Structures are given as C-alpha cells and as structure tokens.
Chains A and B, each alone.
Chain A
Amino acid sequence: MADAAISGPGRRVFFRQGTLLKATVLLLLALLIVLPLLRTVLFTLQPDTVKAWPDVLTGRLSTNLFYKPLGNTLTIGVVVAVGCVLLGGFLAWLVVMTNVPFRKTIGVMATLPFMIPSFAAALAWGSLFRNDRVGGQVGWLQGMGLDIPDWLAWGMVPTLIVLILHYFSLAFTVIAAALATVNSDMVEAAQIAGAKGRRILIGIVLPVTTPALVAAASLCFAGAVSNFATPALLGLPVRMQTLSTRLFGMIEVGQVGRGYVIGILLVLISGAFLWAGNRIVSGRRSYATITGKGGRAKRFDLRGARWPLFAVAMTFLLVSTVVPAVVLTASSLAPSSASLFSNWTLHYWLGESDPSFAQGIPGIVYNEDIVRAVTVTLCLGLAVAVTGMIVGLLASYTTARYREGWASAAITQISFLPLLVPGIAFGAAYIAYLGAPIGPFPALYGTFALLVIAATGYLLPFSVQTGRAVIQQVSGELEESARITGAGFVRRLGAITVPLAIRGLTAGGILIFVKIVRDLSLVVLLFTPTMPVLSVLAYRYASEGFGQFANAITVVILFVSVAATLLANRLQRKSQPWLQN
C-alpha cells in the first residue's frame, strides 16, 4: 500500500492510507445511523406532514411547542455538562492523582450512579423532597415538618441536581481513564523545575486531558438534553417542558410529524454545540501522552485536606448511590407507597400468584415474563457490548490516526448523532427502517437482531468517545515503528493499539452493557411480547401503579449492572494502575 501511495499522484487518492478504512467505517455508520434518521427526515417532508415545520418554528404554537422547551433544554445541557465535568473531574483527580484515603472505594462508587436508571433517581428525589403541591403523600423531609419550597421540589433545580448526580459518573469514567495515562515524564519534569501541585494541574494535567474533558462534557450535554424521564417526572407538575418531553408527548398523542420535527431540531442544535466542542479539541494537534517510555508519577500529597476532601467526595457518592438504592429497595418491599418503611413483605419478590393481591401478578421470581426478560436482557447487553466496541474501535481508531479530511470529521459527527436523538425517536426510526422487508431481507421487527443492531447504533457515541479519548493518547510513533517493520493494519491494531487502549475500550464495553441493560427509551418501541427486556417490564409495572414490581426489577437491573462492573474491574485490575498503590 505504501508503495502504491508513492508511485504516482493519480493513484494516490485511491490508495492513500486509511481511505479504505474510512470508507468502511463511513459505510457502517451510514447503515447504522444515517439511513434510519434519514427515514425520519423524509417522513416529515411528506405532503401531509410537512405542515409540522411551520407549526413548530413560526406558528402561534411555536413558543410553547419549541422555543420555551428549547431554552429549558439548553439550560439543562450546559449546566449539567459543566457540573458533571467539575464533579466527575474532581473525583477523577482525587482517585487518580492524589493520596486521598479509600481511593479504590471512591473509584468504584463513582462509576455506580450511571447504572441507576435516571427515573429511579428522580423517583427517589420525589420520595425525599416532594412537597404538598400535587397533594397526596409528601416526601420524607416534608413529613419531618420541614417546609420544602416548590423550586426545590419541582422543576429546573431538582432536574439539574438529579441529572448531574446521574451523569457525573460518565464524566468520571472518561476523565479518570485519561488522567491515568498522563505521562510521569511531564509531571516529574515540572516537579524538578519546582512547580507546585496547582501549577502542575493547570499547566500540564488540564491541557493534556482536554480531549477527555471535552468528550466528557459532550457526553453529559448530549445525555442531559435527550433525557426524558427526569424532566418528565420532576418538571411536569410545574409545566416545565424540554424538547424531549415535548417530543414524547407529541408522539404519544399521535402527532408524529411535529414530534419528528422537534427531534430533528434537537439533533441539529445539539450537533452545533458538539461541533463547536470538537473544533476546540482538533485545534490542538497532539495529545499523545502514552509514549514508548515513561511511568507513573507519584501522587499529590493532600496533607491536611485528605480527610475533608474524602468527606466531600463521599457525600456526593452516598447521595447519588446509596440513597436511591435504599429507597428503591424499601419500596420494593412496602405494600403501600404511603408508608415506605413499614409492613414489609417479600410478596413482590417471592410470592405466588394471588388473585386478591396486585391483580394476581406473581412475585418476580415466579413470573415467566421476567425470567425470560432476564435472559434476553443479558444476551442483549453482551452482544451489544461486543458489536458496539468493534464498530467503536474502528471509528475511534480511524479518526485518531487519520485526523485530516472531511471523512474523519464526518465519522466523528455521525458517530455522535445518536446521542442527540431521544431514544424513543431512534427506536421509531428503526422500526421505519428495518421494520419492513428490504429486498430479499425479511423484516426484523420483533427479532433479537433488530434490538442488537439498533442498540449498537444508538450507543455508538459511548464506544467511540471513550475509545477515542484513549486511542488519541496512544502515540502514533509506536505504530509507525511497527509499520516500518512491516506489520499490517490488523496486526498493528491487535498487537499495539488494542492492548494499550484496552482499558478505555473495556470501559466503553461496560458502559454499553450497563446502558442497554437499563435503557428504557430506545427499547420501549422496539420491545415486542416475544422479546421482552427488563427495563420495559419495569416501566410497564411503574406506569400501571405496581411500583413495587417496578422497583424490584430495578433492583435486579442494579444488581446485574453492579456485578458486571465489579467483574470487569477485577478482570482489568492489572491495567488499572490508578487503583493500585
């Protein structure tokens, strides 16, 4: 290939390094992401739905339909992104670079909140802070005699807090992986030159981890703007709408055209923000921090601040993990949601079907639907983790190694797209896309394959972004030396890039597994009775007033996710220097 590239300018374009790779990745992304979304756009341009555009953008409805929700959405996106990077970055710095006590515990706990479905956290917020605005039962704090004001019980403030406490662990994972690869050479050089901790942080650590910070902020921004459950649960009582709750509402009442238009605008707006973020990163050319030599820097000594900082970190972690878990568990045992901590029963877990109790639904251990859903969900998580990481690795490798050219920019942008598409819209697009037979291929509706393909596309941003932050730091010189010795693409990838980047890739795989296991919005439309998944069953029970079954299933989801992460941590221990002393 190298020979061909040199032999003449005419053939150079065809055989330029990476052209084949770029083409392959672009084709995959087109099939997984672009075509389904294109179907959505085309749908809104049909003669009877095209009117949805002026309705949303200029009509008398546009203020409430679009502009007000847009304002709320952007506020949420920006505040949550900043909050997550600050909180996640702070924790990552503590765990990776300092001698804070119980670093391992903090490191493990910081990855947990992301595994708790955000609707669970929102419900938990309600059980604690709910005031008497909507009547009925008040939250625990109001019950203790405190007067909780509306702004703390409902609307923007609780939405922001819940989302930050949910998404910060995403930022933590990305930033910690990047911080762990900061080369000791640079830090030691600075130390020798007499630089103090703060100066090393601002002068070296922050600049070289910029891609990770931007990636983390982007992931959190995109996640926050497309989150549905939290603003719906906490914002609706004060009529706070975001673009995603609007989109959901429109599709729910059958105004699919307007819903899709809002969805498309959401994609475009978030896309603009992320493009700007991407520009910031690609303005600098080298972020390589893993080179052929170098080792671990010694940790910053926090001295007197060790325990106070530990206390601060643990406060955030307990609030975002233990509190919702306790509330969920308690409510899976309490027959009436009115009294969370009394009259506990195991019926919702172990009970046989009893017609006088919960419409005769048996406890989840005896419920065939749930048992089958566990199998389907676990298989789905594993399959998507593997397919997602393969596509994610190809895409992130391509963009990191061949940064120039429109094709790489396109790969980056396209792979980010699904994050901005609310899951329910992505699911709807996939039904339109693969729901009907295409040529000789049969309709995939209701098959396991459809779930895997849609989930792979939907979760690609996670695999690509986490992979990219790590791969960008694997110095190109390592690969170049391998290429000089005659190693081919597959061999270079297998022998150098993958082993060095395995931590980021595995982290991405875990994120994907966990995300799909507890995902609701994507699968809620793809779900069919023959292919049940846990989160949809939980949602069904919750929406029908069987909160105990929903919470019991959520506890199962939680258990599976935590077990997966702990197992992965164990397998990875050797490659997680930040968890070793």
Chain B
Amino acid sequence: MKVLAATRLGAIGILVSTTALAEGHLNEMSPTDLLPLAQAEGTVTVYSFTSRIGKVEAAFEAAYPGIDLQGFDISSTEQIARLKAEAQAGVTNADVIYISDTPVVLTELLETGIIAPYLPPRVADRVASEFQAPLLAQRLSTKVLMYNEESYPDGAPVDSLWDLTREEWAGKVVMVDPLQRGDYLDLMTEIVLRSDEMAAAYEAEFGAAIELGDAANAGERFIMDLFANDLILVGSTDDVNAAVGALGQEAAPLGFTSYSDRRDNEDEGWALQVANDVAPAPGIVFPAVLALAAKPNNPAAARLVVDFLMGDESETGGPGLAPFYVAGDYVTRSDIAPHPDAVPLDEFTAWRIAPAKTATIRAEIGDLILTLQ
C-alpha cells in the first residue's frame, strides 16, 4: 500500500514538475518555436471584451493555418463572473483572456490565481514597464465626454465638466448606468479621486470656491449635482453613441463613451467627437489587458495568440493589431506610431486610472451612486 502510494506520489511529483518546466519553457519561446506546438494543439479559445475579436480570428487563422481560433465576445463584467464560476467547477474553457475592468480583474482573477500573466518575449523590450505588470496591457481604451460635431461645428459646447451641472444641460447628458457597467463606475471613482482638480475647475468655472454641502469632497459634489441635473442613464455604450452622435440633431446631447467608437461614425451615421479640452479632464484612460488561464488547455497556442495580438514587426503592427489601430485606442507598444487621426496620448487630457487605487474606493462610490438614483 505504502509503496504504491509513494510511487504514485512520486509519479505525480514528476508529472507536476514536468508541466511546470514545460510552462516555464513556453514562456521563453519565440512565436516560431511556439508554432509547431500550437499547431499540434490545433485550437485555442479566447474570451474577449470586444467584438473586434471577430476580425482577429480571421487574421490569426490566415497567419497561422491549422490553428482554429474560437473567439467569444463577452463583456468584462460577465467574463469575471464566468471565469470565477468555471474556476469553481474546475473547468477551463478559455485559454486567453482579453479584458478591461482591471480594478476587479486584479483582485478577483489575478490574486485568486484564476488567470496568469504572460509577456511575449518578442515584444518585452518594446512595452513600457508600467504596461507589463501586473498584467500585460495591449492598449489603452477610454471613457470620455463626446459631442456631436455636426450639431456643434465650432467644437465642444462645454469647456468644463462643471458645465454639465448647469441648467442648460439638464436632461441632456447621457451615460451608461455606472451600476451596470464597470468602466463607468471606474470613471465616477476617478472623478472622486481627482477631487482637488475638480475643486479647482469649479472655481475656474463659477468664480467662487466650491461649497461641499453634504458631499465629502468636490468629486462627490460633482456626481451628486450631475445626477440632480436629470442625467440620463442608458444600458450600453451604443445607446450613448446613438444618442450623442446621430446625424441630423439640432442640439444633440453630450455623453460619456469610448473615444474609439468614433471609428464607426461613417458606418453608423454618427458625428462623435471627443471634447478633449474640458477642464479638468474629459474622462478616463484605462488598460485593456491580456492574460492566460492559470492552466490553459492549449498553452502554446494561447501564447501565440497573445503574441499575435501585440502586433507584428511592420510599422502599424500588421493584421493582429489592425482592429485596434484606430483613432481613440492607444497601443502600448512603444515602437508603433500613434494613429494619425487621434489626439496624441501626451496631448490627450483624460485621466489615467491606477487600478489598485480605484479598487480601494470603487464600492463606496457605487454606494453613493445608488443613493442618487
């Protein structure tokens, strides 16, 4: 009995260590070395928070024949719920996780060991260290104030976020309910974290120091005033885009949405443009990160996908990055030229969120918003 058990333990030990070795080894491999292993695996599953995974799928399968990429478009919040449930069931469905909502991802997925970081060695020296850890950021995405450039041909009709609390914008500011989409809760949280800037902007706008009343700080005061000014909440960013961007409006509303949705202006009949000059900032910039499942079913192919999504050696990153090389998305690779049509990142005034800091008061801000509805 004992001998058997010992043998078994030994066997398990050897198995575990070989797996560990193999995994460690895989992390160092170049895409050329990964390819035959990935082709032997034959398939790879990606959970993606953006529908652009459809384009990635076609491009990846063209670049690496023999590997079937199954891309699933699942919102960040849902991915988190799904990955947690799958981990509990001891099932691994996804090999690659492409996700935003980093404040929650870090605490609930990374720290709990459900997902693992991976940095493709090929691009390691061309991604700033702030984007390498704790998870690899592929690009920066946004939730910022946008206006309708057809309706307001002379530029944004407001010059401060505090304008949105004025009577003339009552019922004319649109955003997604922050209690239903994490990105928007992050935006509200950042406004509170930047209370000093909000207070200064208040004084610049109204010529008097802010009176907090029952609010704890200027950020909270702004959120309370914004909600009191008949803020309109909708269910998805596309609803915001349609409300703000639709052509043929005389006095279109303003709204918080993704800068990169401007890419759909032509297809959808929108006239979205970012209000980059509002004080103190038009909104937030946050990372879209790439990670592996803790124990991916297709470890080589999974790494190959991450490598592919970081772009190839051409000037704009080639087919892997093409869906993300659009105005309003900021690719993290330092050697890729910024998109010519977008406000350059260093001139883009939106706040860069610090996920760990956001996580500390996020729930509290959620509660505040709850009392305002």
Partner-B contacts on A (CB < 8 A)? 60-61, 63-65, 133-137, 232-233, 236-237, 239, 241, 248-255, 336-338, 353, 355, 359-361, 428, 431-432, 435-437, 443, 445-446, 524-525, 528-530, 540, 543-546
B240 to chain A, nearest CB (A): 9
Measured between alpha carbons, how far is A134 from B176 in the docked complex, in Å? 11
Known: A61-B370, A431-B88, A544-B51. Contact between A137 and B233, CB under 8 A? no
Measured between alpha carbons, how far is A137 from B243 in the docked complex, in Å? 7
Q: Choose from B52, B252, B253, B255 the contact partner of A359 (Cβ within 8 Å).
A: B52
Partner-A contacts on B (CB < 8 A)? 45, 51-52, 54-55, 57-58, 70, 72-75, 77-78, 80-82, 85-86, 88-91, 93-94, 104, 108, 171-172, 174, 177, 179-182, 185, 232-236, 238-239, 241-247, 249, 252-253, 255, 264, 267-269, 323, 363, 366-367, 370-373
What are 9 contact pairs spanning A and B, CB under 8 A?
Answer: A134-B234, A135-B242, A249-B179, A254-B182, A359-B323, A445-B89, A446-B93, A524-B78, A525-B82
With both beta carbons as reference points, the residue of chain A lying nearest to B245 in the complex is identified as A136
Given A253-B185, A446-B91; 9 other pairs, CB 8 A cutoff:
A65-B370, A135-B249, A135-B255, A251-B81, A254-B81, A255-B366, A336-B268, A436-B90, A446-B86
Assess whether A135 is in contact with B77, with CB atoms less than 8 Å apart: no
Give the chain A neighbours of B182 by CB distance below 8 A.
252-254
Give the chain A neighbours of B267 by CB distance below 8 A.
336
A357 to chain B, nearest CB (A): 9
Assess whether B70 is in contact with A135, with CB atoms less than 8 Å apart: no
Assess whether B89 is in contact with A529, with CB atoms less than 8 Å apart: no
Measured between alpha carbons, how far is A64 from B370 in the docked complex, in Å? 6
Give the chain A neighbours of B81 by CB distance below 8 A.
251, 254, 428, 525
Known: A134-B239, A135-B172, A355-B58. Contact between A249 and B80, CB under 8 A? no
Assess whether B243 is in contact with A134, with CB atoms less than 8 Å apart: yes
With both beta carbons as reference points, the residue of chain A lying nearest to B173 in the complex is identified as A135
Assess whether A359 is in contact with B54, with CB atoms less than 8 Å apart: yes
Assess whether A236 is in contact with B243, with CB atoms less than 8 Å apart: no
Assess whether B235 is in contact with A233, with CB atoms less than 8 Å apart: yes
Give the chain A neighbours of B75 by CB distance below 8 A.
543
Measured between alpha carbons, how far is A485 from B349 in the docked complex, in Å? 88
Assess whether B243 is in contact with A431, with CB atoms less than 8 Å apart: no
Assess whether A236 is in contact with B90, with CB atoms less than 8 Å apart: no
Measured between alpha carbons, how far is A11 from B182 in the docked complex, in Å? 61
Known: A61-B371, A254-B108, A360-B54. Contact between A134 and B253, CB under 8 A? yes
Measured between alpha carbons, how far is A542 from B157 in the docked complex, in Å? 31
Assess whether A135 is in contact with B367, with CB atoms less than 8 Å apart: no
Measured between alpha carbons, how far is A279 from B236 in the docked complex, in Å? 43
What is the total of A-B residue contacts with beta carbons within 8 Å?
A: 147
Give the chain B neighbours of A446 by CB distance below 8 A.
86, 89, 91, 93
Assess whether B370 is in contact with A133, with CB atoms less than 8 Å apart: no
Give the chain B neighbours of A528 by CB distance below 8 A.
93
A176 to chain B, nearest CB (A): 36
Assess whether B180 is in contact with A252, with CB atoms less than 8 Å apart: yes
Give the chain A neighbours of B181 by CB distance below 8 A.
252
Assess whether A432 is in contact with B232, with CB atoms less than 8 Å apart: no
Assess whether B239 is in contact with A431, with CB atoms less than 8 Å apart: no
Query: Which 7 A/B pairs are nearest by Cβ-Cβ distance?
Result: A445-B89, A135-B243, A136-B243, A136-B242, A435-B89, A135-B253, A545-B238
Give the chain A neighbours of B58 by CB distance below 8 A.
353, 355, 360
Measured between alpha carbons, how far is A443 from B87 in the docked complex, in Å? 11
Give the chain A neighbours of B73 by CB distance below 8 A.
540, 544
Assess whether A133 is in contact with B245, with CB atoms less than 8 Å apart: no
Give the chain B neighbours of A529 by CB distance below 8 A.
45, 70, 72, 93-94
Give the chain B neighbours of A250 by CB distance below 8 A.
179
Assess whether A133 is in contact with B77, with CB atoms less than 8 Å apart: no
Give the chain B neighbours of A252 by CB distance below 8 A.
77-78, 179-182
Give the chain B neighbours of A137 by CB distance below 8 A.
242, 246
Assess whether A435 is in contact with B88, with CB atoms less than 8 Å apart: yes
Measured between alpha carbons, how far is A47 from B75 in the docked complex, in Å? 29
Assess whether A443 is in contact with B70, with CB atoms less than 8 Å apart: no
Assess whether A136 is in contact with B244, with CB atoms less than 8 Å apart: yes
Assess whether B90 is in contact with A60, with CB atoms less than 8 Å apart: no
Assess whether B373 is in contact with A241, with CB atoms less than 8 Å apart: yes
Give the chain A neighbours of B171 by CB distance below 8 A.
133
Known: A525-B85, A529-B72. Contact between A134 and B232, CB under 8 A? yes
Assess whether A253 is in contact with B179, with CB atoms less than 8 Å apart: yes
Assess whether A359 is in contact with B55, with CB atoms less than 8 Å apart: yes
With both beta carbons as reference points, the residue of chain A lying nearest to B176 in the complex is identified as A236
With both beta carbons as reference points, the residue of chain A lying nearest to B366 in the complex is identified as A253
Measured between alpha carbons, how far is A281 from B248 in the docked complex, in Å? 58
Q: Choose from B93, B180, B233, B246 the contact partner of A136 (Cβ within 8 Å).
A: B246
Measured between alpha carbons, how far is A432 from B84 in the docked complex, in Å? 10
With both beta carbons as reference points, the residue of chain B lying nearest to A443 in the complex is identified as B89
Measured between alpha carbons, how far is A245 from B285 in the docked complex, in Å? 28
Q: Choose from A338, A445, A543 the contact partner of B269 (Cβ within 8 Å).
A: A338
Give the chain A neighbours of B89 by CB distance below 8 A.
431, 435-436, 443, 445-446
Q: Choose from B90, B234, B269 the contact partner of A237 (Cβ within 8 Å).
A: B234
B109 to chain A, nearest CB (A): 11
